[in-house]
Amino acid sequence: MKRILLLLCVSLLIPFFSAHGRDNIVFYQVGERDPALWNTLKRHFVSKGYGVSIYESADTIEKQIQNANRINKEKATLFLAIELIPSETEDIFIAVSNAKKGQGNLLEIDEVPAVHDADSEELARAIAAPFGKKIKRLPLFVFLGIDMPGAFLRIDCPKDKTGDIFNRLNEGLQKYLKRGVKNESERKS
């Protein structure tokens, strides 16, 4: 009876000790889709303890607005628009939206990403660091209406290096996600 009670208590507490606290990430598929590569990406991040949602990119403004509404309802931690390209060589391009916030109290749909400008830049820099890359600021349709920190990644990914690339991506994400925990503990001290 004691073993059953102990097992029950441990199984109830396991989610609280997850390495990532079940951070939720929205992956937005951009460009051509390689199902095997995307399955590998999803499995990799689920195995690291993340909640993962994957959406296909929109080709019309109406579909983008529908996607943005669904994505924003998820209350995810961050948004990564990714173009995964099977390639012979490894490369990564990282960009953030150059959206600007308007003067009024009500935001236009193209101004929404500007609310998260500083966090998005911090996220992009954290991802870029393990790859030794710089980030760019661009007008990005995929961020239209997205109300959370986000970055765009174009990853040229050789099949034999997917694990290494995804590990470095995770390293950057962890650096970004833990900065809030570090800042919280510094404020409490």
Residue-level pLDDT at 106: 83
What total number of domains does the chain contain?
1
**Rounded CA separation 138/3 (Å):** 57
Task: Establish if 6 belongs to a structural domain.
Answer: no
Model pLDDT, residue 16: 39
- Inside any domain, residue 162: yes
Distance in angstroms (rounded) separating the CA atoms of residues 78 and 26: 6
Tokens 């600007």, located at residue: 100
Asked whether residue 37 is domain-assigned, the answer is yes
pLDDT digits (tens, 9 = 90+) for 86-110: 999 999 999 999 999 877 778 888 8
* pLDDT in the model for residue 8: 39
Whether 146 maps to a domain, the answer reads yes
Bridge-based pairing of strands 135-138 and 78-86 is unpaired
Domain containing residue 170? 21-100+109-180
**Shortest CA distance to 26 belongs to which of 74, 63, 60, 66?**
74
Residue 11 lies in a domain: no
Predicted pLDDT of residue 149? 96
Q: With 90 as the cut, is the pLDDT of residue 7 above it?
A: no
Does 75 map to a domain? yes
Residue 171 sits in a domain whose CATH number is: 3.40.630.40
Residue 126 lies in a domain: yes
Backbone angles phi, psi at 102, to 5 degrees: -80, -175
The per-residue pLDDT for 1 is 56
Q: Does 5 reside within a domain?
A: no
